[in-house]
Structure 1
Amino acid sequence: MDLLPLFLVVALCVLQSSSKPMLKKDRVHHDTPLSNNEHNDEENFNYDHEVFLGQEEAKTFDQLTPEESKERLGKIAEKIDEDHDGFVTADEMKRWIKQAQKRWIYDDVERQWQTHDHNSDAYVSWEEYKNATYGYILV
């Protein structure tokens, strides 16, 4: 009787049981969050303000009186109402929010660029990037 097939089956079983399990990679693309605030309308509307207005504009609105805030929001609503029919549709609101998110991303990229460009020459060298990212500990 040929024991080779039986030996191969036993060897494969031993290898499989002793091998390291494969970790699955997360293949889902996670978008950048619209706001760093927690979305909880029962406590405050900071998340909504940042998503709707953008991070910097939301800070400005925090300093306004309720009357001034309503007046400015009315002007913004007119900008969102692309077809000027007096109503803001869900599609118009989605486009506005995406525009606010893009503006936030571009502003963040500009801040990051300034952080990395130590000599302000409008270019980020590899040395500047390493120093800004890892600090001066690298040789």
Structure 2
Amino acid sequence: MRFPRLLLCLGVWALCGSAKPTERKERVLREAPLSAREHDDAQSFDYDHDAFLGADEAKSFDQLTPEESKERLGKIVGKIDEDGDGFVTVEELKAWIKFAQKRWIYEDVERQWKGHDLNEDGLVSWEEYKNATYGYIL
């Protein structure tokens, strides 16, 4: 009689000891923000392209030939060089990166707004938001 109880206790103890707590996961898979990515200058230029050009522009650069890329980058450098001295300073580069990031944010906000403004009146009512976010179930 003692042996089955001991075996039962050992079995319960083993199950409790090997149980893993439930991992909380988001319903939506999100890509890590740019600043959280590993950055290695020698291996990958994706980080630099995204920060410098913006995500959409970086995708279009991936489709270009090396000659076309150099030509387009030359035009962009002309825009970055605010004082026209032929050199890009750290401050000018930072200002350009901020500009590229803000441009992407504003474009994304516009895209999201259009997705929620279902009757296209320039306003998002609670009903429109609810329907665009949760569907017509609620």
Number of aligned pairs? 106
1:49, 1:38 → 2: CA distance?
A: 14
In the alignment, structure 2 segments of 5+ residues that lack a partner are 1-32
Is 1:105 the counterpart of 2:105? The answer is yes
AA in 1 matched with 2:93: M
Matched with 1:57 is: 57
Trace 1:54-93 onto structure 2 (pairs within 5 A): 54-93=54-93
1:88, 1:120 → 2: CA distance?
A: 43
RMSD: 2.0
Query: Quick check: 1:37–1:47 contact (8 Å CA) kept in 2?
Result: yes
* Structure 1 residues 73 and 36: alpha-carbon distance in aligned structure 2, compared to 1, 3 A threshold: farther
Q: CA deviation at 1:77?
A: 0.6
2:36, 2:112 → 1: CA distance?
A: 17
Could you tell me the TM-score, scaled by structure 2's length? 0.68
AA in 2 matched with 1:111: R
2:96, 2:45 → 1: CA distance?
A: 18
1:98, 1:86 → 2: CA distance?
A: 21
In the alignment, structure 1 segments of 5+ residues that lack a partner are 1-32
AA in 2 matched with 1:131: N
1:62, 1:36 → 2: CA distance?
A: 22
AA in 2 matched with 1:133: T
What SS does the aligned partner of 1:114 have? helix
Q: CA deviation at 1:42?
A: 4.2
2:73, 2:41 → 1: CA distance?
A: 18
Q: CA deviation at 1:137?
A: 2.6
Give identity over the alignment, percent.
75
Could you tell me the TM-score, scaled by structure 1's length? 0.68
